[in-house]
Amino acid sequence: MTELAESDSPTEPEIVETQGWGKRLINTIIAPEKSFEIIRDHKSRIWLLTALLVIIAVAFPQTIIIQRTIAQFKATGPELPPGIELTEEEIAQVQASTPAFTFWLGLIGIIIGLILVWLIWAGIILLFVSMFGGRTEFGKLWRLTIWASIPIAIQSILSGIYLLIAGGIQPLLTSAASFMTNPAAALLAPSSPEDFASFTPPTGGSLALFSLASWVDPFYIWRLLLLILGVMIIAKINWRKSIAIVLIPWLLGILIMAGIAGLTGSLAF
């Protein structure tokens, strides 16, 4: 009878989650295993609040950049590649014919891209889980990818605060070399919308290295660790398989993106 009861237990319906969203949010940061156990064993729609939080957080610094880009565009006109010049009349025509909405399209693209990343991660993880002998559902992995994006939300909020304090967007264009040479100057130097004009386009190789570096930061590593832990708990597999399931597509992704960035930079510049 005991064996029969144990064999029937996995087919029991999921229990509706009663834990509040705030507590889940805190648990994902300080005790993620508890948060992921809830994803595995309970039904809940509070992931919608988390998705909304991440979207708003990601939009926060982008909104600041867009607003300052619009201000720079209205003040000095569009940025032009080296060797191309426009008369004041032509610049005025471009300024008059370019609506502000054009600059916000990029933000819409970022939000759509974020949602697509969640979908792609959930699908790829589900595929690898089945390849490694685990079992779970797409919906659970979808919720996992959203909850595991909390580090990205924290990073975006800090970036937005930094942009407000720095007074410009030039710090985002600071190269790694100048930061390592004089980090205090790189972080604290005042900037303005006119800093765009002095920005020198990087080479294809530099873009590839920058693409690689952008994938390796503390917040993204934190996100990867949450995904690894979540896959291990939700799919009920060992940590070695969970690491492989998360890191294999991640490594392939950064190599592909670095290659595209390098190729694009070589063709453009």
- Residue 76 in this model has a pLDDT that exceeds 60: yes
Indicate the range of 22-31, 71-80, 118-127 predicted with least confidence: 71-80
Q: Are 234 and 146 in contact (CB under 8 A)?
A: no
Measured in residues, the chain has a length of: 269
Sign of CA dihedral 46, 224, 123, 114: positive
Mean pLDDT of the region 56-61: 94
pTM of the model: 0.72
pLDDT band at 6 (very low <50, low <70, confident <90, very high): very low
Q: Are 238 and 228 in contact (CB under 8 A)?
A: no
pLDDT by residue (tens digit) across 200-259?
Answer: 555 545 554 555 555 567 898 999 999 999 999 999 999 999 999 999 998 888 887 767
User: Which pLDDT does position 67 carry in this prediction?
Assistant: 84
**Closest by Cα among 75, 80, 105, 79 to 92:** 75
pLDDT band at 39 (very low <50, low <70, confident <90, very high): very high
How do the domains of the chain map onto residue ranges?
32-268
In angstroms, the Cα distances linking 3 to 12, 14, 188 are: 15, 21, 66
Mean pLDDT of the region 171-194: 43
Sign of CA dihedral 15, 21, 23, 28: positive
